[in-house]
Amino acid sequence: MEITTEMIKELRGATGAGILDCRKALTEANGDFKKAVDWLREKGMATAAKRADREASNGVVELYSHGGGRVGVMVEVNCETDFVARSEDFRTFAHEVALQIAASAPRYINANEIPQAELDHEAEIARARAAEEGKPEKMFDRIVEGRLEKYKDEVCLLRQAYIRDESLTIEKLLHEQIGKIGENIVIRRFQRWELGESVGE
């Protein structure tokens, strides 16, 4: 796969690693952004990875109301210093995360938070659908796996496509911010309410 300047620039923006390191990482990962980030992390070159261990106890609780008060979002985004917490870049990022939550209604921040029982239930549905669609039985496991990944992309905030740019996930956007701002940033927790929904939905 051809490694473009644009790909290198994006990886550099997200990780803070050098141009040559980014090119090598993308080559090793055959152009796969996530694998390239992992490769840089393993080599200790990604600033996002280096900063991930640092305490993020400052930040902001961003509140957002959408559709004339039909949807409300509260999200806590943390950073390391009060100085960054007050910066426009950080505040804008927190606001974008709140917008994303309002528009895409994620249920979890990342896939580790999904209860196993829920994944098992989704796997059962996917298996039943594959059978109903007349797919060959030997393909079931692959089909179920694919549908589970798609499910995780839908319900996990970090895996969702960014509403303003489908080519970015929220995780990529987060890594870009870490590279740009130079501090560890954590999306700690969120809550989304929709008018008329029953508690526990």
d(Cα 109, Cα 47) in Å, to the nearest integer?
A: 21
Spell out the per-residue pLDDT of the chain, length 201, in tens: 788 888 888 887 777 777 888 888 899 899 888 888 888 777 666 556 556 666 677 899 999 998 888 999 999 999 988 899 999 999 999 999 999 999 999 999 999 899 999 999 999 999 898 888 888 888 888 889 999 999 999 999 999 999 999 999 999 999 999 988 888 899 999 999 998 876 554
DSSP three-state, residue 33 = helix
d(Cα 136, Cα 14) in Å, to the nearest integer?
A: 41
φ, ψ of residue 114 to 5 degrees: the values are -70, 125
CA dihedral 77→70→68→155, nearest 10 degrees, is 40
d(Cα 14, Cα 37) in Å, to the nearest integer?
A: 8
d(Cα 68, Cα 113) in Å, to the nearest integer?
A: 31
DSSP strand E in 29-159: where?
A: 58-66, 71-79
d(Cα 58, Cα 171) in Å, to the nearest integer?
A: 20
89-101: b (≥16 Cβ within 10 Å) or e: ebeebbbbbbbbb
CA distances from 186 to 17, 89, 90, 109, 143 (A): 20, 15, 11, 10, 33
The Cα diameter of the chain in Å comes to: 58
